[in-house]
Amino acid sequence: MIVVKVPGINGLGKTNGCERAGNAVIAALDEIHSNEQGKPIDKKLLNLEEIHLDNGDLILSNKLIYENAFETIESQDKTIFLGGDHSVSYSLGRGFCEVVKREKKEPCFIIFDAHPDLMPVAFEGIPTHEEWLRGLIDGNFVKPENVLIVGARNNDKKEIEYIKQKRIKMMSINQLRVDLHESCDSIMEFANGIDKEVYLSVDIDILDPAFAPATGYKEPGGLTTRALLYILQRINKLKNLRALDIVEINEQLDKEKYSRMTTKIGAKILSEFL
């Protein structure tokens, strides 16, 4: 397993600061002695890399992210990517899909996000953090039926129409609230399949901003930290979980206003997959 920092941002000017999250999350591991499974955490033992990017050159950045993702996912049993904003998931996802398809398997995406990120792509090949998932679907990298979006609670009219058109699977916050265990069972059932490989994407705004305020698009009514950790611990048991990302932690905002609490949550999430 390898942890890769991906300091990319393409968030319409609203995600500046997210490029520093990878280093901050790794530093916050110093405060975690063990994860909730009882495994000791020592960041010095991590297989850690970084994709060095110039966010002023989005074409080159996307190329580097894709190439590094392809090479890393192909050679590892599991890869954890630390963003960055959610735009990085487009090129990470492309690399994942290409590797999986070469192995004659089906790429499958489970996405925890307050927003579907299915807005029309304005500039082909360089989707923003609001467009990355649509870029993957419209580019035929992943089939719509192999996408599950969990917790979206503020969907644009264009996204609602696209979801209906493509019959994309959605799981609402209320479904999770009514029966968390049964919802987890449904997520696991969606991911199961002899021919499926899973990519998990965790946008920190899946959490209610009372728990994780340092992010660009705060949406009230999100998950508690406890509920999210329980779900992710369940998902981590999937044998076909091949790659995951943690994105949209604004380290700059977190340091200035929120005592690094959102960064600490990112580190706790990371620790559960180590």
Domains of the chain by residue range: 2-272
Return the closest-CA partner of residue 111 out of 150, 58, 140, 84: 150
Q: What is the pLDDT of residues 191-240, one digit of tens each?
A: 998 899 999 999 999 999 999 999 999 999 999 999 999 999 999 999 99
- Can you list the pairs that 39-48 forms with residues at least 24 positions away whose Cβ atoms lie under 8 Å? 39/274, 41/271, 41/274, 46/3, 46/274, 47/1, 47/2, 47/3, 48/2, 48/3, 48/4, 48/5
Q: What percent of the chain has pLDDT over 70?
A: 100
H or E element: which one contains 203? strand 196-203
Superfamily of domain 2-272: Ureohydrolase domain (3.40.800.10)
Give the other-Cβ count within 10 Å of 62's Cβ. 22
Average pLDDT over residues 45-66: 97
pLDDT-derived band at 252 (thresholds 50, 70, 90) equals very high
Residue 124 has pLDDT above 90, yes or no: no
Average pLDDT over residues 92-107: 98
CA 141 to chain centre: 17
Residue 123 has pLDDT above 90, yes or no: no
**pTM higher than 0.95, yes or no?**
yes
Instruction: For residue 152, give every residue at least 6 positions away whose Cβ sits within 8 Å of its Cβ, in sequence order, or none.
Output: 113, 114, 115, 116, 170, 172
Query: What is the C-alpha separation between 147 and 155, in angstroms, rounded?
Result: 16
- By CB atoms closer than 10 A (0-12, 13-18, 19+), residue 77 is exposed
Residue 12 has pLDDT above 90, yes or no: no
Residue 125 has pLDDT above 90, yes or no: no
Task: Return the pLDDT at 193.
Answer: 86
DSSP code for 219? -
Mean pLDDT of the chain: 97
Task: Return the pLDDT at 194.
Answer: 85
Task: Return the pLDDT at 164.
Answer: 98
